[in-house]
Structure 1
Amino acid sequence: MKAIGRVLCATGIVAGLIAFFWKDPFIPENLSGARVLLTGASAGIGEQMAYHYARFGAEIVLTARREAVLQKVRTLSTCLQCSTKTTPHSNSCSTSPVTGYHMDMSVPYVGGLDYLVLNHIGMTHFQMWTGDVEYTRWLMQVNFFSYVALTTAALPTLEKNRGSLVIVSSLTGKIPTPFTTSYSATKFALDGFFSSLRHELIMQKRNVSVTLCILGLIDTDTALQNTRGKVHISASPAPEAALAIIRGGATRVQEVFYPWWLQQVCCLWVLFPTNRGQVLRSYYNYSSP
């Protein structure tokens, strides 16, 4: 415990120095007119990102499975910024393989692409592993393979415009947690693929940034419903999470942690393997049937 205390103390000192000398690199005006394709935009964090991008004057293509809900988000986004172009584009990443068709349909609406923000997820079962292999295969298709396919289709356009890839992931893609076996697998896959892709793009001198966003528990309706009574963790606000994602993509950082202290959690997880699982499980509630 003394070692952990020293690490936390040193981390606090470093964080304080950074905060004192740090200059915010995010310039909202730079997003005015930026061409953004945002997936999973009908609710939750995606919906909040749509509103933020609209306030900043970006030109947005919004995609989601639920067309009626997406139209509502589109209307509200347009009202926030009269000069913003928002185009709803309904698609389902789960019912068919996602190929270049999706990009071919979306890019002409905005005349190009500066940001590809991948945020969609399939329905998540927050429960113990039940042996449902088919569900895991389906979730991997939605949460991982569709991200790879959309990225592959978008890369030529993003490279031409020195654009940015923004991948919304989760702490469960860094630290395996109870009740998230299939979901965690998809998020670990995202981390592995896009972190590797980032290296390759840099080595090839292709000017496309890759920002991986590591989120904790966020107060979306779905997340709160899934975790109610099962976790002893406070949820963070979706509008702030959405803004952190947008800031990270705009400033081209490699990773975004929201809340910020998740980065320290990941460091401690690596540095102190002894008893870490026991500590983690203490935040989860499970009653044997």
Structure 2
Amino acid sequence: MKAVGKVLCATGVIVGLLAFFWKDAFDPESLSGARVLLTGASAGIGEQMAYHYASFGAEIVLTARREAVLQKRKRGIQCLSYNFCEILCHFPESKQIYSQSFLKDFRLSARGLDYLVLNHIGMTPFQMWDGDVEHTRWLMQVNFFSYVALATAALPTLEENKGSLIVVSSLTGKIPTPFTTSYSATKFALDGFFGSLRHELVMQKKNIFITLCILGLVDTDMALEKTRGKVYLAASPAAEAALAIIRGGATRVQEAFYPWWLEYVCHFRDWFPSHRDQVLRSYYNYSSP
């Protein structure tokens, strides 16, 4: 335990020094006039990102499942900004999450795109694995394959405009946690695919940057409802999470963490795996049936 204490102490010193010398490279004016396509924009973090982008003067296109809710978001955004805001399309409520017609509309609207922000997720229960393979297959379509399809459709215009691809992921895509078997699998898939794609873009000398955003528990209505009584962790504000994502994409970091200390959790995750897992499970409430 003394060794663990020394490591934690040294980590604290390093974190303190980094915080002292850290300089914010984010310039909000760099987003003025930027053309952004944002998925999953009807609520939660996506809604907050839409408001932030509008306040920075970006021209935004919003997509989500619920078109009526998106129209409300559009009216709210237009109150914040005179810049262009369009509802491109809504994902259908059926299990066909994206379609050829959507991709065709996307390609037409993506001319001049500076940022593609992939943020949408499928609804999934927060519970022990119950053996529902079909749900996992569907969730992989929503949380992973649709990201791959939309990113692929956008690559030509992003390259033309030296743009950025922002992929919203989760700590569960770096460290497996209880009650998130299917969800965690989709997020690990995002990490693997877009991390590999980043290498390939560099090797091909294509000026497209990829930022993977690693989020902890955020106080969206959906997250709070699912985790209530099951997780002993404080949720972080959605508006701050949204700003951290935008900041990471605008400053072109490979990985953006929110809260910031998650970066160090990921760095040291393999140092003491048995202690890590024991501590991790202590934050979750499970009552045997």
Matched, 1:152 2:172: no
Greater mean deviation of Cα atoms: 9-18 or 273-282: 9-18
Query: Where do residues 239-278 of structure 1 align in structure 2 (5 Å cutoff)?
Result: 239-278=239-278
- The answer to which of 245-254 and 92-101 deviates more is 92-101
Q: Which residue of 2 aligns with 1:178?
A: 178
TM-score (ref. length: structure 1): 0.95
Which region of structure 1 is more displaced relative to structure 2, 51-60 or 261-270? 261-270
Q: Contact (CA 8 Å) 1:25, 1:251: kept in 2 or not?
A: yes
Give the deviation of 1:108 after TM superposition: 4.5
Q: Distance in 1 between matches of 2:119 and 2:285?
A: 28
Q: Look up the equivalent residue of 2:81 and give its one-letter code.
A: Q
User: What is the TM-score normalised by the length of structure 2?
Assistant: 0.95
Q: CA deviation at 1:111?
A: 4.4
Q: RMSD over aligned Cα, in angstroms?
A: 1.5
Q: Displacement of 1:280 after TM fit?
A: 1.0
Q: Which residue of 1 aligns with 2:199?
A: 199
Change (3 A) 1:114 1:197: same
Q: Kindly indicate whether the alpha-carbon contact (under 8 Å) linking 2:126 and 2:180 is maintained by their aligned counterparts in 1.
A: yes
8 Å contact kept, 1:37–1:106: no
Q: Cα offset for 1:266?
A: 1.5
State which drifts further: 123-132 or 6-15: 6-15
Are 2:200 and 1:226 equivalent residues in the alignment?
Answer: no
1:91 aligned partner: 90
Residue 2 of structure 1 deviates from its aligned partner by 2.4
- Once the two structures are TM-superposed, the CA of residue 91 in structure 1 deviates from its matched residue by 2.4
Structure 1 CA distance for aligned equivalents of residues 110 and 184 of structure 2: 34
Shift in Å, 1:104: 3.7
CA-to-aligned-CA distance 1:100-123 (integer Å, 9 cap, x gap): 643542455474200000000000
Q: Secondary structure at the match of 1:3?
A: helix
How many Å separate the matches in 2 of 1:97 and 1:222? Answer: 19
SS at match of 2:166: strand
1:67-109, Cα deviation, whole Å (9 max, x unpaired): 1111111111111112x11101232266326366435424554
Query: Which whole-Å CA distance do the structure 1 matches of 2:42 and 2:87 have between them?
Result: 10
Write the distance in 2 (CA, Å) between the matches of 1:38 and 1:3.
46
Once the two structures are superposed, residues 186-241 of structure 1 have per-residue CA deviations (whole angstroms, 9 ceiling, x without a partner) of 00000110111111111111111110000000000000000000010110000000
- The amino acid across from 1:85 in the alignment is F
Kindly provide the CA deviation profile for residues 11-45 of structure 1, in whole angstroms up to 9, marking residues without a partner as x.
22222222222221100001000000000000000
Counterpart of 1:79? 79
Residues 73-82 or 238-247, more deviating:
73-82
What count of residue pairs does the alignment treat as equivalent? 288
- Following the alignment from structure 1 to structure 2, what is the Cα–Cα distance between the partners of residues 226 and 75? 29
Partner of 2:215: 215
Inter-CA distance 98–203: structure 2 relative to 1 (3 Å threshold): same
Deviation at 1:257, TM superposition (A): 0.8
**In structure 2, C-alpha distance between the alignment counterparts of 1:99 and 1:146, rounded to whole Å:** 9
Which residue in 2 is equivalent to 1:187? 187
Query: What secondary structure sits across from 1:98 in the alignment?
Result: coil
Task: Name the SS of the counterpart of 1:269 in structure 2.
Answer: coil
**Separation (CA, whole Å) in 2 of partners of 1:97 and 1:224:** 25
Which segments of 5 or more consecutive residues in structure 2 lack a partner in the other structure? none
* Residue range with higher mean Cα deviation, 65-74 or 85-94: 85-94
Q: Is the 8 A contact 2:110 2:157 kept in 1?
A: no
Q: Is the 8 A contact 1:61 1:106 kept in 2?
A: no
> Quick one: percent identity of the two aligned structures?
73
Aligned equivalents of 1:20, 1:215: Cα separation in 2: 23
Secondary structure at the aligned position of 2:270 is classed as helix
Equivalents in 2 of 1:90, 1:20: separation in Å? 45
Secondary structure of 2:63's partner?
A: strand
Q: Which runs of 5+ in 1 are unaligned?
A: none
User: In the alignment, which residue of structure 2 is the partner of 1:27?
Assistant: 27
